[in-house]
Amino acid sequence: MSNTLTRSDLSQAIHLEVGLSRNESSQLVEDVLEKMTDCFVKGENVKLSSFGTFSVRSKSERIGRNPKTGIEARITPRRVLSFHPSISLRQRVNK
């Protein structure tokens, strides 16, 4: 068994737990991920109760350094996705 949860694993779990067909389960996973992606593109946060919050942050331009060569390089402004787990998720993980 792999240590990575995949889209296929999610749709299989929905198929077995909820009883939707494999195609319906797969489409449900794709629809949820597409909705989340649309929110990220718009800069919106996605909060999943008892799980955590995904948020988009803007990072400004800065000077970085290549750790291998030590040469300085300009890092362009960008948006990054961050995740903050809920307290209940942190507690479950740390049990």
pLDDT tens, position by position, for the chain (95 residues)? Answer: 568 999 999 999 999 999 999 999 999 999 999 999 999 999 999 999 999 999 999 999 999 999 999 999 999 999 999 999 999 999 999 99
Is residue 7 within 8 Å of 37, Cβ to Cβ?
no
Report how far residue 6's alpha carbon sits from residue 19's, in angstroms, rounded to the nearest whole number. 19
Nearest to 55 by CA among 42, 67, 71, 72: 42
pTM of the model: 0.79
